Amino acid sequence: MRSVEKYTVEDPSEFKIRLLHWAQQFEDVVWLDSNDYHQQYSSYDAVLAVDAFTSIRTDYHGAFDKLKEYQEKTADWIFGYLSYDLKNDVENLVSKNSDSLNFPDLYFFQPKKLLLFKDNLLEMHYLRMVDDEMEEDFKLIHTFPDCVDLSHNEDSPYGKVKISLSITKDVYKDKVKKMLSHIHRGDIYEANFCQEFFAKDSCIDPLQTYYHLNDISKPPFATFFKMGDLFLLSASPERYLRKEGQKIISQPIKGTSKRSDKESNDKKLISDLRSDLKERSENIMIVDLVRNDLSRTATRGSVEVEELCKVYSFKQVHQMISTVVSEVSKSTSPVDIIRTTFPMGSMTGAPKISAMRIIEELEESKRGLYSGAVGYITPNGDFDFNVVIRSILYNAEKKYISYTVGGAITAKSDPDKEYEECLLKARAMREALEGL
């Protein structure tokens, strides 16, 4: 079904920039980049899928059944996203908050052209209908710019972006207090509460903004997604779910600390985060939730915690990450594994359904693709998906820009500190948009 050619690339970093410039000619683009962040579970350093041959685009009604049918019928690589609001397909839930972005709830496509990077090796997997273009494309990519201008040019056609908040600090704190009252009453133990930052009547260059955001953060799950006039520019540090053969891997993040330029201070921040009882309790609660989710498709006794509350350092923040794994039978559908774990526990809370109901009550904006997932499913049913956080969403036709941040609220949460954590998480997106 696909023809494959392999090429050696002399300078992968330079070639990747050229490649992403070349990809802008297509209506459908998914670019996934690890930024050379060496992970235990990884197949590729970067992946590019472009030019849809077939696709599926739907709202949440029966979305997972439709995706399952599409995946089985296609029996090929498919790339796309799952929005947070697919929760309404798996549980008796609703999404009534305002939505100014208007992304479909689910979108996947089968790319005509697929390029896979590992070290300095490039594999080009093209559908037979376009495989005569491989050699020409490889040569053409080398003609595109090999550098990125991250400066904010005064002569740019794009004006300065002015960010607004969906809720004020006082309103945010009042809502956190309401969340805490639910926790103290025993309705939930933990919930992820988010707020939106947005800009109306604003335009950005999506590719340059992505480069700027990625340069600020250098995360292991960076994404540039394009579907016509809809864009996701993501600097996500978090994996949602991965399937390798019969092994399933989930790596929830809960626990965040700022970084310091001074090495001794930075080491102390790591130590403080590692021993912080509140942050550890947040993480452990979500680990329990993930273990429960994975058990729904796991073979008996196969759910294990490989890492608990390990601190990883990224360019802007330290994060506490746990790794939970399971085994599934060969006959288990990849879409069913996703369906029974979605949305991810790190972006919902515990108990999961009660948390999602309270989240909907207190948040002002529909989450949409934020706290959903972007990734791919392979022809043999393996998959890898990130968590859409630290991300900018852009509807170019509506000239609407949005980014959302949040944090886990537990019984020990302090509203002022939670607000400061939101601002810390929002800094990279604000800087990418405003050039501060």
Tally the domains of the chain: 1
CATH number of the structural domain spanning residue 174? 3.60.120.10
Q: Active-site residues: which are they?
A: 238, 254
**C-alpha distances out from residue 73 to 54, 70, 77, 261, Å:** 11, 5, 11, 52
> Average of pLDDT values for 359-380?
97
77 Rama sector, left if φ>0, alpha if ψ -120 to 50, beta otherwise: beta
Greatest CA span in the chain, whole angstroms? 65
- Percent with pLDDT over 90 in the chain: 91
**Enclosing domain of residue 7:** 2-434
157 contact partners, CB below 8 Å, separation of at least 6: 203
What pLDDT score was predicted for residue 147? 83
pLDDT at 159 (0 to 100):
67
Task: Tell me the backbone φ, ψ of residue 125, rounded to 5 degrees.
Answer: -110, 105
Per-residue pLDDT, 31: 98
Query: Mean of the pLDDT values across residues 120-136?
Result: 97
Residue 152 pLDDT more than 60? no
| Residue 141 near residue 9 (C-beta atoms within 8 A) | no
1-53 confidence digits (pLDDT tens) = 899 999 999 999 999 999 999 999 999 999 999 999 888 899 999 999 999 99
pLDDT band at residue 157 using 50, 70 and 90 as cut-offs: low
Segment 238-243 shows an average pLDDT of 97
Amino acid letter, residue 256 = T
Q: Could you read off the pLDDT of 302-335 as tens digits, one per residue?
A: 999 999 999 999 888 899 999 999 999 999 999 9
